[in-house]
Amino acid sequence: MFPDALLDRFAAPIRALPDKKRALTWRLIRIGLALLAGAGTAFAHPPFGVLIGLLGYPLLMILSERSDTVRGAFWMGWLAGFAYFFIGCWWVAEAFFVNPEQAWMAPFAASLLPAGLGLFWGTATALYRRWAPLGAVRVLLFAALFCAAEWLRGHVLTGFPWNPAGATWRAGGGMSQFASVVGVYGLSLITVAATAAFAPLIGPGAKRSRLISTSLGALTLIAVGTFGAIRLAQSDLQFTDTVVRLVQADVKQETKWSPEAYRSIVDRYVALTSQGAARTPNVVVWPEGALPASANDVFASADAQAIAGALRPGQTLLMGLGRGEPDPTAPEGGRYYNSLFALADEGGTGLRVAAVYDKHRLVPFGEYLPLGGIMTKIGLRSLVHMPSDFSAGPTPAPISIPGAPPAQVLICYESLYPGFTPGAAGRPEWIVNASNDAWFGATSGPRQHLNLASYRAIETGLPIARATPTGISAMIDPWGRIVDGQRLDPGVMGVIDAPLPRPTGITPYGRFGDFLFFFSTLTAFILSLWPSIRRSRVRANRAAI
C-alpha cells in the first residue's frame, strides 16, 4: 500500500469529528509532528547517532507544504527548530550552574537560544510554503531554502553554526569525507535534499515520479558513502618529525577561579609539561584560558620562571591565556583578548613570546554582550562572565612556531567555522584547537564540539591538535579520524605525546571554499522555480495577445 493511502486511512476517523474538534485535533497533531521532526533530526547527530531521525527533514517538508497558510508553515518550522536546538544545545544551560548565583538564568538560556535559532528554520519553511512548485522538484527548493537559512545562522551576528545538517555524519566516517569537496554546508545540502526526497511518497503527483525522487535520494546517499569509503581506503597516514604534547589537567570550571586553587593548577600544568617521555616533544599545548589569571599577571610573576623551567631546550609552549592591552580609545582605557601564546624558554630566566594569536570570533553572551551599552544600562551585564567584553582579534592568519611547522590557531568556538584556514597561499601545515569545554560538564556538548572541530580537518586536509582542560583532547588526522590511542576523554588527567600527521594535498574545499555550496544552492533554486516562472511567462504572453 502506498504511504498516502495509509495516511488517508489514519485520517478517516479524524475527518468524522465535529468541525471544532477536528480542527483542534489536526492542530495538535501538526504541533506534535513538528516537534518530532526537530527532535528526530537532533538525535541523528553524534553522540546519539539515531540516523533514522533524518526522516525529520521530509516530515518537516510535508508539514510545511500542507499548512493552510504561510504563517502556519512558519510555525511548523519554528517548532521543529526549537526542538532541534533545545536538544542539540541544552548543554548551554550547564554553564550557568558553574556559579550558583547565575543558576536562575539556566532555564532562560536553555529556552531563549533555541527560540531565537528556530526563527531561521521558520523563515525557510514559510518561504517554501510560499514558493513550493508541484511535483518532486519541490524537494530541491526545500533543501536550498533550508540550507541557505542554515548558512545565515552560521553568519548573522557572528553566527552560531552548531550542528549543521551535514555534521550529522560522524567525522572521520565515510559519509563525512565529502566535506573535503563541498564543505559541511555542501554536505548539509546533500543530506537535506537526499532525505527530503522521501517526502513526495506522500503527496500529489504520479507514483512513478514520486518513486524516482525517492530512488534518486537513496542513490545520492549511496554515492556519497561510496566516495568516502574509497577516500578512506586510499588514505595514507604519515607523520612528520614533530612531536606534540597535549596537556589535559582536568581543571573543573567550578573550582578554577577560587583563589586557593591557583597554586595547585599551576603546579599541575608544570608537572604534566615536564613529565618524562620516550621522545621529547617539540611543542607542548595547553588549553584555552589554562590558568585562572591574565597573561599580564602570569608573565610578571615567579610562575613564568617555573613554567619556563618545565620546558626542555628548544621546546615551545602554546598556552591559552587572557591578556590585557592599554588602549586610550577603548571605553575602559584598555582591551582584553582571549589569546594563545607561543612561548620559548629564555635560558632559565623566563619566557619569550614568539607569537600570539587573538581570538577573532567571539561567543555572544559568553565573551561579549551584543548591544553591550544598552544591556549594561538595564543591568544585564551579569550575563557575561567577565566584567567587560573581550575584543575581537584581527583576521585569522597562521602563526610561526619555533621548532614546528606554521599552524592555524582556532580558539574554542572558532573551530565551528569553516573557511578560517587558508587553502592555498599561506596554507599552514596543521591546526591548533585550544578549547575550554569545562563549562559544559558531562553533557553532549564536548562530544559534539569534537565532532564539529574534526570537520575542519576533513575540509582542509590538515591535522588538528586539540587541547582542552577537561576533555576531549585528541590528535586528529587529516581525514577527521582520531589517531589510534591519541585521545583523553572527559575526567581524565594526563598528556598525549603524538607525532604530528602530515597534511594531505589541498582539498577541493580548501581551494574553492563554499563556492560549490553557493553554486549548488543557486542551481537548486533555478531548477525548482523555473517551471513556475515559465508558466507565469506563458500566462502573461497569452494575456497580452
Give the pLDDT confidence score for residue 390 in this predicted structure: 84
Q: Is the pLDDT at 538 greater than 50, yes or no?
A: no
When pLDDT is cut at 50, 70 and 90, the band that residue 9 belongs to is: low
Taking the CB of residue 234, how many other CB atoms lie within 10 A of it? 7
Could you give the CA distance from residue 76 to residue 65 in angstroms, rounded to a whole number?
10
Query: What's the Cα-to-Cα distance from 155 to each of 6, 150, 345, 419, 520, rounded to whole Å?
Result: 42, 9, 40, 12, 19
Q: What local confidence, expressed as pLDDT, does residue 95 receive?
A: 77
Rg (alpha carbons) of the chain, rounded to whole number: 26
The secondary element (H helix, E strand) that includes residue 240 is strand 239-248
Which pLDDT does position 360 carry in this prediction?
92
Q: Which of 89, 94, 147, 412 is catalytic?
A: 412
Domains in the chain: boundaries: 3-233+514-544, 239-360+395-506
Cβ proximity of 490 and 446 under 8 Å: yes
The answer, yes or no, to whether residue 29 has pLDDT greater than 80, is yes
The CATH number of the structural domain formed by 239-360+395-506 is: 3.60.110.10
Q: Three cell numbers at 12?
A: 478517516
Position with higher pLDDT, 450 vs 102: 450
| 1 has a pLDDT exceeding 50 | no
Q: Say what the pLDDT of residue 364 is.
A: 76
- Rounded Cα distance between 43 and 211, Å, is 27
pLDDT higher than threshold 60 for residue 377: no
CB-CB neighbours of 47 under 10 Å = 11
pLDDT at position 384 over 60: no
How is residue 229 written as a grid cell?
A: 569509503
471-486 average pLDDT score: 95
Comparing C-alpha atoms, which of 106, 122, 104 is closest to residue 34?
Answer: 122
Supply the pTM of this predicted model: 0.91
Question: Is-catalytic flag, 367?
Answer: no
Query: pLDDT tier at 379 (50, 70, 90 boundaries)?
Result: low
Q: What is the mean pLDDT of residues 304-326?
A: 92
Cα separation, 481 vs 273, whole angstroms: 25
pLDDT (tens digit per residue) in 69-105: 999 999 999 999 999 999 999 988 887 777 777 787 7
End-to-end CA distance of the chain: 47
CA dihedral 303, 305, 308, 310 (to 10 degrees): -70
The Cα 22–Cα 29 span in angstroms is 11
**Cβ-count burial 141-155 (b if 16+ within 10 Å, e if not):** bbbbbbbbbbbebbe
- Which band of pLDDT confidence, cut at 50, 70 and 90, is reported for residue 277? confident
Per annotation, catalytic residue among 65, 94, 147, 359 = 359
Compute the mean pLDDT over every residue in the chain, rounded to the nearest whole number. Answer: 88
Identify the active-site residue in 94, 150, 288, 429.
Answer: 288
What's the pLDDT at 371? 60
DSSP string over 157-193: GG----S-GGGGSPTTSTGGGGHHHHHHHHHHHHHHH
∠ at Cα 182 (54, 52), nearest 5°? Answer: 10
Q: What is the pLDDT of residue 531?
A: 73
For the chain, percent helix, then strand, then coil, each to nearest 5?
A: 55, 15, 30
Gap between the Cα atoms of 359 and 337, Å rounded: 7
Q: Which among 214, 59, 205 is positioned nearest to 133, based on CA atoms?
A: 205
Residue in 412, 414, 431, 430 with CA at minimum distance from that of residue 470: 412
pLDDT for residue 10? 64
pLDDT band at 468 (very low <50, low <70, confident <90, very high): very high
Maximum distance among all Cα pairs of the chain, rounded to whole angstroms: 91
366 compared with 409, residue with greater pLDDT: 409
- Is 147 assigned a catalytic role? no
Cβ atoms of residues 63 and 48 within 8 Å: no
Could you tell me the pLDDT band of residue 162, with boundaries at 50, 70 and 90? very high
pLDDT tens for each residue of 200-230: 877 655 567 778 888 999 999 999 999 999 9
- For range 511-520, the mean pLDDT: 96
Q: Pick from 385, 422, 449: which is nearest to 510 by CA?
A: 422
Q: Pick from 293, 265, 251: which is nearest to 469 by CA?
A: 251
Residue 542 has pLDDT above 50, yes or no: no
412 is catalytic: yes
The per-residue pLDDT for 383 is 54
The C-alpha cell at 266 is 599551576
Q: Span 294-309, mean pLDDT?
A: 90
- Output 177 or 208, whichever has higher pLDDT: 177
User: CB atoms < 10 A from the CB of 266, how many?
Assistant: 20
* Chain segment 224-274, per-residue pLDDT in tens: 999 999 999 999 999 999 999 999 999 998 888 888 899 999 999 999 999
Least confident among 98-107, 153-162, 173-182, 308-317? 98-107
Instruction: At 329, give phi and psi (nearest 5°).
Output: -80, -15
